[in-house]
Structure 1
Amino acid sequence: MKKHYRSEKNCLNCGTTVHDKFCPSCGQENLELHEDFLHLALHSVGHYFHFESKLFNSIVPLFTKPGYLTKEYFAGKRASHLNPVSMYIFISILFFFLFTANTNINKREIIDDNTAAAKPATEKENIRKAVSLAKNKLNEDVTAGEISEKTAAYTYTMLDKTEAALDTSQARPNKAVSYKKPAANAEQTHAAGEEAEETGVIHSLKAKFKEVATNDLSSELFKNKLVSHLPKIMFILLPLFALILKLVHWRSPKLYVEHLIYSIHIHSFMFLFISLLIILSWIMPFLSDWLSLLGSIIILWYIYRSMRNIYGNSRWRTISKFFLLFFAYSFLLFVCSFAVVVVTLYTV
C-alpha cells in the first residue's frame, strides 16, 4: 500500500529540511500525521519485520560464523545486523527468563520431595519427647544423689546418640540437660579456647556452612539459589572479560571498545546457546548431563575459533592465549562466585 508523505519539507522531529522521504539528520520518515488504521498497522508490521530480518541476519552468523559479527561491525557493515548491545539485551532477557524458570522448577521439586518425606515424622517426635523426659529424670536423680555422675554420663550419652540417630540430617544443640559433666581434658580445653577466640563473622559463616551441609533441604535450595545467580555473575564479568582480552593481546592495536564488542558477541552466543540447551533439557531430561558436557565443549571451541578469526594469530599462539584467558577468567569467576556464595548463605 502506498505511503502518504507530507508536502512540507521540515522534519517534525528535529526541524531539519527534508529533501526526500527521510530526514538526513535524525532519519525519521516524513509521513503524514493523520493516517488511517490500515496505514498505521502496515507501518508497524513493516517495522516489526525489519527488526525480525535484522535479528535473523544476526543470529544465524552468531551461531555459524564465530567472530563474523565483530569483524562486520568494525568494517562498518552495521545496517543489516542488530546493534551488539541491543542484541545482547534481547538475548539476555530470554536467557534470564529460561534460567530462572528452570531453577524455580527444580526448587519446587525439591520442596515437594522433602515435604513428602517429612510427613511420617510423628513417631520420631514422640521418641524425642520420651528421650527428653528421660534426660530430665536423669538430671533429677543425679541432683538427688540416687545415681552416680559416671553412670549418668554413660546413660546420657546413650540417650543423646538415640536422639541424634532419629535425624542425622539436622545438627541441633543439646540444651535439655544442665548437670555438670566430667571435667574436659587439656586438649578439649585448648580447642574450646581456640573456638572462643574466633571472630563473630567466621563463627557465623561456619554455622551457616554447617547448617547447609547437614540439612538436605537447605543444601539443595542453596545449590539452586546459587545457580540462579549465575546469569548475574556473567553479566558483571562481561566488561572484565574484555579487559582480560586487552591484557592478553597487549601488543594488538585494537582499542578496549573493540574487545568489549567481541566480548558482547561471545556472551550473546553463550546466553543463546545455553538457552537452547535448557529448552532441550526440558524436552529430553534424560540427556541433560550429556547436553551439559556437549555444550561446554562447543562453547570452548567457539571461543577459540572466534579468537583466531578476530585476532589472526597462529593456531598455537591462539591456544596459549586461550588458556591465559581461560585461567584469568576462571579466577575472576571464582572470586565473584565466592562473594555470591557468602551472600546466598544468608538468604537461603
Structure 2
Amino acid sequence: MSHGKLREEKNCLNCGHFVAEKFCPNCGQENTETRKPFHYLFTHFVEDLTHYDGQFWGTIKNLLLKPGKLTETYLEGKRQRFVPPVKLYIFISFITFFLFALFPPFHLDFEAKADSKNKKEKTIFAQAAISQTQKIVDSLKAKENKTYEDSVQIEKLSAIVGDSATINNFQEQLNLDKGLEEDFPYKNFKTRKAYDSAQAKNPSSWNFLDKAFAYKLFELKEKGAKKGDILRNLIETSLHNLPKALFLYLPVFAFFLWIFHNKKKWWYFEHGVFTLHYFSFLLLNILCVTFLFKLVGLTESDFLNRLLYVIISGMIVYSMLYFFIAHRRVYHFHGFTSFIVGCILFLVNFFAFTMVVIGLGIVSFLMIH
C-alpha cells in the first residue's frame, strides 16, 4: 500500500523483531524510513482510506453497478477484496457532506438584506417584462385565423407570464424580508408572558417540547429576526445535523430488516452490513445527482441539458430500484416475495425516516441563535 523507502536496518521499530523483507512477521508493521516529506501526512491519509492498490475503486464499482454484491461477498467471508463496510460509509459520508459544505446543493438567498431601491428597480423591471409579454399574448389571441404555431406560442408565453409573476411575488407573499410581527401568535398567545400564564393554569409534564418551541419563537420575535433569516438558518442547521441523523438512523433501518427476516438464519450484524452498504450507495448517488444538477445550465446547448436531465432521471429511478435488487440478491427471496417484503420495508422506512426529518427540523429550529 505504501511506497516508502525501505530501511537498511532489519530490526522492527515497533516490536524489535527481525524483519527479513518488507513487513515485520510479528506485528505486521512496514519497515520503511520514518522521516517523510510533508505531503506524506496527506497522501498517507488518502492512501489508508482508499487503498490505491485497487481495493477502493473495486469497492466503488461494485457498490454502484452491482446492488448487493458487496454485502453478499462480505458475508461469505471474502473480506480482503473490498473496503470494510464501516470505513466505506464513514469515508463516503465525510466526502459527501464536506463537498456539500464547500458547494451547497442550493443557494439560500432570500434577499433578507437587499437594498430597498434595488428591490424596487427589480420589481419594476420584472413587471415591465411581464406586461410586454402579456401584450404579445393578447395580440396573438386577437388573430382571427390562428395557426398551430400561434397556439403553441400563446401556451408558452402564458406559462412564462404565470411563472414570472409567481417568482416575482414569492418573497412578497411570504414576507421573508420582514420580521415576526407583534401580532404573530403562537396558539393565540402573542407574548411569552401570556403563554406562561396559560401554562401555569393548566400544567402538564408532557408539554416540554411545546414549551421549548414557544420560547424559541418568542425569543426570535423579541430579537427582531427576519423570516428569511430564520428560514435560512433552519435549513443550514438541518443540513449540518443531517449526517448525525443519518448515522443514528442506521441501526433503526437494520432493526426493521431484522424484524422482517428469519431470526435464526440472519443475525442483526448481517442486516447492519447490508444497511451500511445501502446507505453508502444512497449518499454517493445523491452526491452524483447534485453534481449533475449543478452542470445543468452551465452550457447553452439544449441537447446537453436534456441529456443531463435524462441521466439524472435515470439515476433517481435506479436509486429506487437498487434496494429491491440488492435485497433479492442478499436474502435470496423469490421474485414476488422479495418484491412484497421490499415494498413493506420501503414504506415502513419511509414513514420512520419522515419522522426523523421532522424531529431534525424541530431540533434545528431550537438550535437557531
After TM superposition, the score normalised by the length of structure 1 is 0.64
Structure 1 residue 342 displacement after superposition: 1.6
**Corresponding residue number in structure 2 for 1:74:** 75
**Once the 2 structures are TM-superposed, how far is the Cα of residue 99 of structure 1 from its aligned partner?**
2.6
Per-residue CA deviation, residues 11-46 of structure 1 (Å, 9 max, x unaligned), is 442355656643344322345x58998xx99x979x
CA distance in 2: counterparts of 1:293 and 1:68, whole angstroms: 24
Change (3 A) 1:35 1:101: closer
In structure 1, what is the equivalent of residue 192 of structure 2? Answer: none
Deviation at 1:168, TM superposition (A): 7.5
For residues 36 and 105 of structure 2, what CA distance do their matches in structure 1 show? Answer: 46
What letter matches 2:181 in structure 1? R
**Which of residues 322, 329, 333 in structure 1 aligns to 2:349?**
329
- Give the counterpart letter for 1:172 in structure 2: E
CA contact (8 A) 2:71 2:277 kept: yes
Number of residue pairs matched by the alignment: 280
**2:333 matched to 1:313?**
yes
Aligned twin of 2:161? none
Give the match for residue 282 of structure 2. 270
Whole-Å Cα distance in 1 between the matches of residues 89 and 112 of structure 2? 38
Name which of 109, 113, 119 aligns with 1:115: 113
**Given the alignment of the two structures, is residue 236 of structure 1 paired with residue 248 of structure 2, yes or no?**
yes
User: Larger helix proportion, structure 1 or 2?
Assistant: 1
Asked if 1:254 corresponds to 2:266, the answer is: yes
Aligned-pair CA distance for 1:313: 0.1
1:62–1:269 Cα contact (<8 Å) kept: yes
Please tell me whether residue 23 in structure 1 is matched to residue 24 in structure 2: yes
Task: Report Cα offsets for 1:139-159 as digits up to 9, x if no partner.
Answer: xxxxxxxxxxxxxxxxxxxxx
Conserved? CA contact 2:292–2:312, under 8 Å: no
1:68 CA displacement: 0.7
- Identity within the alignment, %: 25
Per the TM alignment, residue 78 of structure 1 is displaced from its structure 2 partner at its CA by: 2.2
Kindly indicate whether the alpha-carbon contact (under 8 Å) linking 1:103 and 1:228 is maintained by their aligned counterparts in 2.
no
Q: Which amino acid aligns with 1:257?
A: F
1:183-202 equivalent positions in 2, closer than 5 A: 202=210
**In the alignment, residue 330 of structure 2 is paired with which amino acid?**
I
TM-score by length of 2: 0.61
CA distance in 2, matches of 1:316, 1:281: 35
Query: Mean alpha-carbon deviation: is it higher for 254-263 or for 54-63?
Result: 254-263
Q: Check conservation: 1:99, 1:278, Cα contact below 8 A.
A: no
Residue 85 of structure 2 corresponds to 84
Aligned CA distance change for structure 1 residues 117 and 233 (closer, same or farther; 3 Å):
farther
The residue that corresponds to 2:227 in the other structure is: 215
Are residues 204 and 121 of structure 1, via their aligned partners in 2, closer, same or farther at CA, if it must alter by over 3 Å? Answer: farther
Gaps of 5+ in 1: 123-165, 175-191
The range that moved more, 311-320 or 68-77, is 68-77
Aligned match of 1:280 in 287, 292, 295?
A: 292
* Aligned amino acid, residue 320 of structure 2: L
Is contact 1:106-1:224 (8 Å) kept?
A: no
Q: Residues 54, 168 of structure 1: CA spacing in aligned structure 2 closer, same or farther, 3 A cutoff?
A: closer
Structure 1 residue 92, shift from structure 2 partner: 0.8
RMSD between aligned residues:
4.5
How far apart in 2 are the matches of 1:52 and 1:258? 27
| Cα distance between partner residues in 2 of 1:2 and 1:204 | 57
Aligned counterpart, 1:205: 213
Query: Are 1:338 and 2:347 an aligned pair?
Result: no
Q: Distance in 1 between matches of 2:293 and 2:353?
A: 25
Between stretches 223-232 and 196-205, larger displacement belongs to 196-205
SS at match of 1:115: coil
What is the CA-CA distance between 1:89 and the residue it aligns to? Answer: 1.6
Which has the higher mean CA deviation after the structures are superposed, 251-260 or 85-94?
A: 251-260
Q: 1:118 to 1:261 in 2, by over 3 A?
A: farther
CA contact (8 A) 2:59 2:82 kept: yes
Q: Is the 8 A contact 2:212 2:366 kept in 1?
A: no
Deviations 1:156-212 (A, max 9, x none): xxxxxxxxxx997355226xxxxxxxxxxxxxxxxx989975868636635867989
The gaps in structure 2 that reach 5 residues or longer are 121-171, 184-196, 298-304
Cα shift at 1:297: 2.5
The structure-2 alpha-carbon separation of the partners of 1:75 and 1:168, relative to structure 1 and needing over 3 Å to count, comes to closer
- Aligned residue number for residue 99 of structure 2: 98
Q: Structure 1 residues 168, 194: CA separation in 2 closer, same or farther (over 3 Å shift)?
A: farther
Quickly say closer, same or farther: Cα 1:208–1:75, change in 2 above 3 A.
same
Q: Which residue of structure 2 aligns with residue 300 of structure 1?
A: 320
Residue 202 of structure 2 is aligned to residue 173 of structure 1? no
The answer for the alignment partner of 1:58 in structure 2 is 59
SS at match of 1:238: helix
Q: Residues 223 and 292 (structure 1 numbering): CA distance in 2 closer, same or farther, change over 3 Å?
A: farther
